[in-house]
């Protein structure tokens, strides 16, 4: 059986910056892959349109028809969010003992928290066009954020910071 933490041994380092760079990058890439796949099947969007859709959060619906600048803006915002949630977890992990328990369970719950905050507190206040609630899409989004965003961030961070180490 594969040790779940050993999957991310390549991130082990004495550098907190390297840990943050890896956790944000891995979570951002996995989230992007899932988003592209799901948005293709649900909305028939290609990867570039998904990035334009992300940019619409700041620039409004006209970003969906924008060119390369909106694609790059969407890519920037996507990874900005991935790095922000990685940084939040990194610093919370170093100060909250509860996050140094079962890293898999904590990572899955962190991913659920990310989905809840994004969908209930942040996205409603952006310029992304509103759409009706879709339970199937929500459940898929929750699962992918738990497994592909929260869990890798938790595993990479716990690989850097042993259970009792503090910053």
Residue 85 token pair: 């949630």
Res 6: pLDDT = 55
> What are 51-55's contacts with CB under 8 Å, separation 24+?
51/75, 51/78, 53/128, 54/78
- Please list, residue by residue across 90-103, b when 16 or more beta carbons sit within 10 angstroms of its beta carbon and e when fewer do: beebbeeeebbeeb
Q: What is the C-alpha separation between 145 and 118, in angstroms, rounded?
A: 11
- Is there a contact between 90 and 20 (Cβ–Cβ < 8 Å)? yes
* pLDDT, tens only, 33-74: 999 999 999 999 999 999 999 999 999 999 999 999 999 999
Q: What is the C-alpha separation between 127 and 120, in angstroms, rounded?
A: 14
Q: The pTM is what? A: 0.86
* pLDDT, tens only, 13-41: 568 899 999 999 999 999 999 999 999 99
* pLDDT, tens only, 73-132: 999 999 999 999 999 999 998 888 887 788 999 999 999 999 999 999 999 999 998 889
DSSP run (H or E) holding 54: helix 47-59
């Amino acid at each position: 059986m594969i040790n779940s933490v050993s999957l991310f041994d390549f991130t082990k380092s004495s550098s907190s910056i390297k840990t943050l760079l890896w956790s944000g990058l891995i979570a951002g890439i996995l989230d992007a892959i899932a988003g592209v796949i799901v948005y293709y099947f649900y909305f028939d969007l290609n990867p570039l349109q998904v990035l334009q859709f992300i940019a619409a959060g700041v620039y409004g619906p006209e970003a969906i028809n924008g060119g390369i600048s909106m694609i790059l803006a969407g890519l920037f915002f996507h990874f900005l969010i991935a790095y922000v949630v990685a940084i939040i977890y990194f610093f919370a992990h170093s100060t909250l003992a509860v996050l140094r328990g079962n890293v898999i369970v904590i990572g899955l719950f962190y991913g659920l928290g990310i989905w809840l905050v994004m969908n209930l507190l942040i996205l409603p206040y952006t310029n992304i066009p509103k759409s009706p609630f879709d339970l199937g899409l929500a459940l898929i989004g929750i699962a992918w954020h738990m497994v592909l965003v929260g869990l890798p961030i938790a595993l990479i961070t716990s690989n850097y910071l042993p259970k009792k180490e503090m910053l």
